[in-house]
Amino acid sequence: MVLTNGYSLEEHFLETEDGYILRLFRIGSEIQLPGDPPGGGKPVVFLHHPLMGSSIDFVAMGPNRSLAFILADAGNSYDVWLANVRGNRFSRNHSRLDPDAPSDVASFWSFSWDEHASLDLPASLDLVAQVTGQDTDMLFVGYSQAR
């Protein structure tokens, strides 16, 4: 949906300390030129989905109607990042467990919203800070579990 509407899209992967592999998306970022600060120096906006959602929640209604697109189009003012927690359609991977293998199913799915908050969120914010060089001035937008 992002690419088909003419926006740039980057995928970033991270592994949490307990082995879950999360995928974050960055939209609307410009290609960096040598000497430019990461993210073009634009403020980072980190969008976090609700409990049963994913990053799709912030782009599903398309340009001019979805928050991620509105922020990306706001005078090229924001570096927009979309989170995905363990177990959703974009973060359904693990370094040792297969969520579809009968022998791993119970172990893979043995987590709660507590791990979303204590492991996934800090790891995601750390990745964004590392990539952008902005670790103190991020804007955070979330609802439901992302309070």
Q: Residues 1-35: pLDDT tens digits?
A: 787 787 888 999 999 999 999 999 999 744 444 55
**In which band, very low, low, confident or very high, does the pLDDT at 137 lie, cut at 50, 70 and 90?**
confident
Gyration radius of the chain's alpha carbons: 16
Domain boundaries, the chain: 3-146
**8 Å CB contact between 72 and 78:** yes
The winner for highest mean pLDDT among 1-5, 35-39, 68-72, 80-84 is 80-84
E strands in the chain: 9-15, 20-27, 44-48, 79-82, 93-94, 139-142
Q: What class has domain 3-146?
A: alpha beta
* Span between the terminal Cα atoms of the chain, in Å: 27
Question: Looking at residues 128-136, what average pLDDT do you find?
Answer: 89
Average pLDDT over residues 58-76: 87
